[in-house]
Amino acid sequence: MYGRLNVNVALNRPTFMSGIYEHPIHMNLDFGAYPSSLAVDGNKDPLALKINHSCAISDWTANPWLAVDLGAALYVIGVLFTNRAEGYGNV
């Protein structure tokens, strides 16, 4: 297949991450963990800790990584990331 697809081919595909961050303070507020699947759920809201489960957050590790199984071999020419908007002092 040739041509550009302007679709999110990663939407709701299986994901894997180096480690899942679990916020100890928010564990009792039903926020808890931020798994890799949140990276491809289509929610682009950058307020991970203010809005329940809007971002995937990796554990505190050196060289964290995220992988997405696209289900096929594709030539990818671009990836769009949205960073979290909270500063560490606001958590």
Tokens 């030539």 found at:
75
Q: Note the pLDDT of residue 91.
A: 44
- Residues 37-84 have pLDDT tens digits of 888 988 877 776 666 567 787 888 889 899 999 999 988 878 877 777
Decide: pTM greater than 0.85. Answer: no
Q: Note the pLDDT of residue 68.
A: 95
Structural domain of 31: 1-91
Q: Note the pLDDT of residue 75.
A: 81
Amino acid sitting at position 91: V
Backbone angles phi, psi at 23, to 5 degrees: -80, 115
- 90 contacts: CB under 8 Å, gap ≥ 6: 49
Amino acid sitting at position 38: L
Structural domain count of the chain: 1
Q: Note the pLDDT of residue 53.
A: 66
What token pair was written down for 47?
């307020």
- Confidence category of residue 86, pLDDT binned at 50, 70, 90: low
